[in-house]
Amino acid sequence: MTDGAECVRVDLGPRSYDVRIGAGLLARAGAEIAPLLARPRVAVLTDETVARLHLEALRDGLGGIAMTSLALPAGEATKGWPEFSRAVDWLLAGKVERRDIVVAFGGGVIGDLAGFAAAVLRRGVRFVQIPTTLLAQVDSSVGGKTGINSVHGKNLIGAFHQPSLVLADIAVLETLPARDFLSGYGEVVKYGLLGDAAFFDWLEANGPVLARGDRAARQAAVRRSVAMKARIVERDETEEGDRALLNLGHTFCHALEKATGYSARLLHGEGVAIGCTLAFELSQRLGLCSQEAPSRVRAHLRAMGMKVDLSDIPGELPGAEALMSLMAQDKKVVDGRLRFILARGIGEALVADDVPGDAVLRLLEGALAGR
């Protein structure tokens, strides 16, 4: 039963695809994927946690479509060359051909790695995303950014490769640990903050029931997030301009993730939430928005039980200067100037290419002093 599944179309000419969103999509994965197949078989890349919880349900849902699968270790450390080459070699050993479909079944780690594997396998095969975390459903499974991490930083190796279909089964989120769910919620809030003030109002009212498991609220939040991402990606598929708005909070987040060694001290969406708070505070200090905006951001994140401040990150952090230099290594640096996504208010983000370094330094000094 799909229980009222909805569909968001990502309109990219010959690379267009549907994102289907609803509870129970796993059970009808076969019917959804069959129209894409040249022959009735798929190769599934997943992680060990998702495999244990949901792989049999996917196998059942695929019905008459034969499935082979490779389960990689769960976690960000998988998103590097060793597991990537293992995955590509497994696909080649399984004789996955140009017209076949690779399925990415997991969170953002598996989606990014499997999408990149599909992008380079035999110079490109199609792939289907079946995202199983909130973060992957609202963000990483849509838009075609695929890739892996390097010793030089996150996501530095990759390709734009759009999926052929995305199946976001809301029911699968019910096995997600609360912390991972809330981490994904950081990206949901980001959409309200960057371009949809009414959505942020809605989240203030509905966030708590959504976190407690209300399927209708979850589906509405995923649909609205995906729709916003789809419209931005349609305008700017390869991030020449507007797509950068999706990086609200991310320059701070990437520095903090690097400072905490991409460890369990800070999950990606938690870093995004802290980064959004910092971006709004910076916007207020630069006179772009009123004090009310950062206060509302902070109040909502606190009400949801999320990380908000640098003091919410356990353990030591480097000083403000060191955090600045980590930001300068971020790939969004253009000609040595720091690019930030700032805001004129809730729902009104903008790309600022020339942010004065000393304002950022003072902001970080203040934030660290609050620890």
Angle at 21 between CA 17 and CA 24, to 5 degrees: 125
Of residues 22 and 108, the one with the C-beta less far from ligand NAD: 108
Q: Look up 258 and say whether it is catalytic.
A: no
Of residues 106 and 294, the one with the C-beta less far from ligand NAD: 106
Of residues 20 and 154, the one with the C-beta less far from ligand NAD: 154
Minimum Å distance from CB 359 to ligand NAD? 27
Catalytic residue, chosen from 149, 247, 270, 339, is 247
- Rounded to whole angstroms, how far apart are CA atoms 152 and 263? 16
Using CB under 6 A, list all residues that contact ligand NAD: 47, 49-50, 53, 74-76, 79, 106-110, 112, 132-133, 135-136, 139-140, 143, 145, 154-155, 172, 175-176, 180, 183, 268
Q: Look up 54 and say whether it is catalytic.
A: no
Of residues 204 and 214, the one with the C-beta less far from ligand NAD: 214
Catalytic residue, chosen from 154, 268, 296, 307, is 268
Catalytic residue, chosen from 243, 296, 300, 307, is 243
* C-beta of residue 234 within 8 angstroms of C-beta of residue 341: no
Angle at 366 between CA 361 and CA 367, to 5 degrees: 95
Q: How many residues does the chain have?
A: 371
Instruction: Quote helix, strand, coil % in the chain, to nearest 5.
Output: 55, 20, 30
Minimum Å distance from CB 42 to ligand NAD? 19
Of residues 154 and 296, the one with the C-beta less far from ligand NAD: 154
* C-beta of residue 133 within 8 angstroms of C-beta of residue 180: yes
Question: Which tokens is 186 given?
Answer: 């950081």
Minimum Å distance from CB 205 to ligand NAD? 25
Minimum Å distance from CB 78 to ligand NAD? 8
Catalytic residue, chosen from 187, 257, 270, 281, is 187
Alpha-carbon distances, residue 256 vs 142, 265, 281 (angstroms): 24, 10, 17
Of residues 185 and 200, the one with the C-beta less far from ligand NAD: 185
Catalytic residue, chosen from 6, 204, 239, 348, is 239
Q: Look up 9 and say whether it is catalytic.
A: no
In sign, the C-alpha dihedral spanning 30, 32, 33, 38 is positive
The distance in angstroms from the start CA to the end CA of the chain is: 49
Minimum Å distance from CB 145 to ligand NAD? 4
Q: Look up 300 and say whether it is catalytic.
A: no
Residue 313: closest CA among 255, 362, 358: 255
Q: Look up 243 and say whether it is catalytic.
A: yes
* C-beta of residue 137 within 8 angstroms of C-beta of residue 131: yes
Q: Look up 254 and say whether it is catalytic.
A: yes
Angle at 370 between CA 368 and CA 371, to 5 degrees: 70
Minimum Å distance from CB 51 to ligand NAD? 9
- Rounded to whole angstroms, how far apart are CA atoms 238 and 91? 27
The residues assigned a catalytic role are 123, 145, 187, 229, 239, 243, 247, 250, 254, 268
